[in-house]
Structure 1
Amino acid sequence: MKQDGSWALFQYWNRLRRDRPAPMRTEIEPADIKSLLGDTFILERDMRGEAIFRLAGTRLCAVYGRELKGFAFTSLWREADRTTMARLATSVFQSKTVVTFDFEGFGRDDRSASFEFILLPLDGGLENPRCLGALSAASKPFWLGSDPIRDALLGTVRIIDPDRDPLFPKGPPSGAVPPHLPRAKGDVPLINARRIRHLLVLQGGREP
């Protein structure tokens, strides 16, 4: 995690979960993360299995120039990246992994800014999986919030098991992350993936 907002939300989530894979949705207290609320969101899985914005903070919506509640998480991404993003959300819902990824977002006239997303699982039961997340900007150019992000170039994706990662305060440094993400029958495996110790690193689309 490169950005302070991602790290702060992770620490809050990690304290809540204690020795569990994830905290309950009802344990999230907005007052506890009030400085982050504008950048945070909650995803839920709909009847089709798609990750949908259940809630989205005001600053996050301003970055994209629209209300995100009810929209698919994959709608923020290029067509070539949507399968990867759907599978990452599924990994958070089903495997209770933590996912971070960076990307370059583009407004009008090729103006760009760098961002980081973090996805953190919440326990809503088998029938109602959810995740907590946040968007953090590496810098805040003057146009951010007035010129909506219209395109995104995905960078590096990191899948983290916080119970097995020695850099995090929970769990022993032994064990390994599963070799691949859960995937539906007939789905294609992730390409351009490489393992670095406890991380599965995926290189995002670099083609326009």
Structure 2
Amino acid sequence: MKQDGSIQLFHYWNRLRSGRRAPRRTEIEPSDIKSLLADTFILEEDARKEAVFRLAGTRLCATYGRELKGFSFPSLWKEKDQRLIARITFGVFAMKSVAIVNFSGVNRDGRMIPFELLLLPLDGGAESPRCMGILSADRRPLWLGVEPVREARIEAVRVIDPDREPLFLANRPAIPVPGLVPSDAALGGAPRLGRRIRHLVVLDGGRT
């Protein structure tokens, strides 16, 4: 996960589940994630076993230029990717896995923007499979929200078991990095003073 919204929503979901496979839908308090609501959504499985939007945030609806409630989730994707995104969503519903999808959103003029999608399972009971998610743009050009995204093209997918796999760099040991300024030993002589210019140190080379 690279986007702040994805990381914040994951931490919230992880706290709520408290060791369970997924939190219950009724445990979600919108006021707890109010800064994320514009980009969040909830999917449910309909009678056709297809994922549809139960709720969708205002900025998410603006990104696609329409109200998404009741709309088919796989239909937002390029035709060749619809089957894959349907399988990913089914895995989140049935297996309670976490899925991260990186994709490009394309508008009518062919302009593209990278997005990160996070899907998190919810416990809605066997009769009501649900999940929540967030859609985060890598950047926000002026056209986004004015010119709708017409198509989504999957670039990378990662399905994660959050109980077995560390998700963040904070869970990994620190790696020592050599200093940016060369040492005196590396320069092959006694210490020499240099002039600092912003983040650089300029050393006199000895030539007149």
Offset, 1:94:
0.3
What SS class does the counterpart of residue 32 from structure 1 fall into? helix
What amino acid sits opposite 1:110 in the alignment? Answer: G
RMSD value, Cα: 0.9
What SS class does the counterpart of residue 149 from structure 2 fall into? coil
1:25 counterpart = 2:25: yes
| In 2: Cα distance, 1:158 partner to 1:70 partner | 26
Look up the match of 1:56: 56
Offset, 1:108:
3.0
Deviations 1:140-185 (A, max 9, x none): 00111000001222110000000001346xxxxxxxxxxxxxxxxx
Look up the match of 2:149: 149
Look up the match of 1:10: 10
Residue ranges of structure 2 left out of the alignment (5+ in a row)? 169-208
Offset, 1:109:
2.1
Offset, 1:58:
0.3
Deviations 1:27-60 (A, max 9, x none): 0000000000000000000111110100000000
Look up the match of 2:111: 111
Look up the match of 2:204: none
Q: TM (normalized to structure 1)?
A: 0.79
Q: TM (normalized to structure 2)?
A: 0.79
What amino acid sits opposite 2:101 in the alignment? Answer: F
What SS class does the counterpart of residue 109 from structure 2 fall into? helix
Q: Report % sequence identity.
A: 64
Look up the match of 1:132: 132
What amino acid sits opposite 2:4 in the alignment? Answer: D
Residue ranges of structure 1 left out of the alignment (5+ in a row)? 169-208
